[in-house]
Structure 1
Amino acid sequence: MAQPQSILDVRNLKKYFPIRGGVFGRKVGEVKAVDNVSFSVNKGETLGIVGESGCGKSTTGRTILRLEEPTSGEVQFEGKNLVRLKGEEMRRMRRELQMVFQDPFASLNPRKTAGEIIEEPLQVHGIGSAKERKEQVKELLRVVGLDAFHAGRYPHQFSGGQRQRIGIARALAVKPKLIVADEPVSALDVSIQSQVLNLLEDLQEKFDLTYLFIAHDLSVVRHISDRVGVMYLGRMVELADRDGLYENPLHPYTQALLSAVPVPDPETKRERIILSGDVPSPSNPPKGCAFHTRCPHVMDVCREVRPEFKEHGDGHFAACHLLEK
């Protein structure tokens, strides 16, 4: 059986935002939004990234696409380091890399019609004639489940689910290979979420897409992802295939997250793991393991030494000193 081919390799990615203060706006600190994150995404798969709000998952996605410039690290896409690409090189590469944003209303220009919004990427990259672009817009609307007449409507005339479909159509316009979906269903009603998730799965099969799917809803991530990475305070703490992570979580933080997922069977009782304390500030993360201030199994070594993110069998990665015992 052939080994899966990696399309995206992220190595030691960091994104620090400066904190400025005083009259002259001097740098007085920095927020470590993404702190030395490494992972790979295989061609044709969906890698889900989960974690609490503020853990850095959305910033990771934006930094990979260079919507935020990385502080350091490498982002290899099909063998090319995106961090080193300049100007026109990066602009051409954006045809291969697209994003679906969390808020479908804020990400659409209210002064443009749906047709103009979807056509804009085609114009930017000089794809097709005006007539060909109009036909392409109609086809894209059909592909995402909308009618051709919707091209003449403005964003405020659509429902939330329809607006997200327009955002997906815009991302598909330039025929990308990788789509970063940043919580694409979190702003939608539950009934609409399933429709959009099913649409994303259908499009992945039809267009041979690879997804980096960012979310905080663990049940949604389990439904759509092949592998799942868990982030905490800007760091990746666990990464495994979907079933391995949900059935055998290794990191105490992952165990706590999964214990909070509702079980549909009222007869089934799950032991809830309640974490004490608050998430530390990313501008002043704790020494050693970032999770040690809330971990129920904390040891002395956790307070001093940062655990190595490494494999513990069958492609299951985790960063925890407990696994060394």
Structure 2
Amino acid sequence: MVQQQVETPKQTGTTLVDVKGLKVHFPIKGGLLGRQVGSVKAVDGVDLHIRRGETLGLVGESGCGKSTTGRAILQLIKPTAGSVKVDGAELTTLPAAEVRRRRAQMQMVFQDPYASLDPRFTIGQIVSEPLENFNRGNAKQVQEEVASLLKTVGINPSYVNRFAHEFSGGQRQRIGIARALALRPSFIVADEPVSALDVSIQAQVLNLLQELQGQFGLTYLFVAHNLSVVKHISDRVAVMYLGRVVELAKSEALYETPLHPYTQALLSAVPVPDPTIESRRKRIILEGDVPSPVNPPSGCNFHPRCWKAQAICREQIPQLEEKQPNHFAACHFPG
């Protein structure tokens, strides 16, 4: 069986995932001939890099393109344009067979633990499927590895012949994590892995993910809309709005001194446990709705809802630039 991979100090910190100019546009077809009449710009020019051993949080409102970005990085959705390199390999130009071979290096934990596990399979079959698909050992070795993986994520190996419906939501997500770990990947996209779980269970799953990161040398892209969850687990945080990254910084810096107005508005809605501080905080209420990704605004996507917007915001798309040391923002008037 494949031995446990743990990053060495030399490896840790180097770039594992490098994304440049990523776009995912879904065509809109209409008319009798089904011609393309428009497109949904779900992801519209995303630049990201993720270092080995770190967790990059990706946050934003529902529909901003977070999950699509994660799936496009893994090539589960074919990007319209842009570059995606994982461990130096350009995935967007690789043949399908080579991308499949590299699936062992890249895995995903899905949002809904009730929909992501096949109800016809036992959990032993679910966790063993990746091992069998990639010929990782004989039947006895696979069986032993499945038992070890279940034990690692906190599931009793004696339950190996039970079906997914016999487990709670938190237990199902642990099974999904075991499946993702089966091939010993170096990179995992966690697509809102705790949003469908009870609040009492969320912290347990987050702690498990952090423990596994240290144990197996994992690198995470952690997709979420809950800012408190992202703060707890992420080393750096990228904020998305309408298909673009508008701010990127270390977790502490972003939460303490957000530069982009959208980030400031999001953080103003997060309650603070100190009543004195909470009473002095000013809530930023955004006016209007999120524009349609079919016809996004000119210039800065956020300008129709921004209290700082000026003429340049309606005319020029702000670039994601370093405004403070290691703190990037796509805003003409940051701070």
**Which one of 281, 287, 290 corresponds to residue 276 of structure 1?**
287
Cα deviations across residues 32-84 of structure 1 (Å, max 9, x unaligned)?
Answer: 00000001000000000000000000000000000000001000111110111
Tell me which residue corresponds to 2:261: 252
CA distance in 2, matches of 1:231, 1:208: 27
**Which one of 194, 203, 224 corresponds to residue 212 of structure 2?**
203
Map 1:112-151; keep pairs closer than 5 Å: 112-151=121-160
Partner of 2:41: helix, strand, or coil?
A: strand
Q: Does 1:11 align with 2:20?
A: yes
**Which one of 297, 322, 325 corresponds to residue 314 of structure 1?**
325
Q: TM-score by structure 2 length?
A: 0.95
Q: TM-score by structure 1 length?
A: 0.98
Tell me which residue corresponds to 1:215: 224
Amino acid in the other structure paired with 2:186: K
**Which one of 176, 188, 195 corresponds to residue 186 of structure 1?**
195
C-alpha deviation, 1:323, in angstroms: 3.6
C-alpha deviation, 1:4, in angstroms: 2.6
Alpha carbons 2:53, 2:219 under 8 Å: kept:
yes
Q: Does 1:305 align with 2:316?
A: yes
C-alpha deviation, 1:313, in angstroms: 2.3
CA distance in 2, matches of 1:311, 1:123: 46
Amino acid in the other structure paired with 2:73: I
C-alpha deviation, 1:150, in angstroms: 1.6
CA distance in 2, matches of 1:313, 1:261: 24
Unaligned runs of 5+ in 1: none
Alpha carbons 2:13, 2:54 under 8 Å: kept:
no
Amino acid in the other structure paired with 2:137: G
CA distance in 1, matches of 2:89, 2:324: 29
C-alpha deviation, 1:279, in angstroms: 0.2
Amino acid in the other structure paired with 1:274: I
C-alpha deviation, 1:187, in angstroms: 0.2
* Sequence identity (%): 62
CA distance in 2, matches of 1:303, 1:69: 31
Q: Which runs of 4+ in 1 moved over 2 A?
A: 1-4
Tell me which residue corresponds to 1:168: 177
Unaligned runs of 5+ in 2: 1-8
User: How many positions carry a matched residue from both structures?
Assistant: 324
Amino acid in the other structure paired with 2:121: K
CA distance in 1, matches of 2:250, 2:204: 24
Tell me which residue corresponds to 2:252: 243
C-alpha deviation, 1:312, in angstroms: 1.3
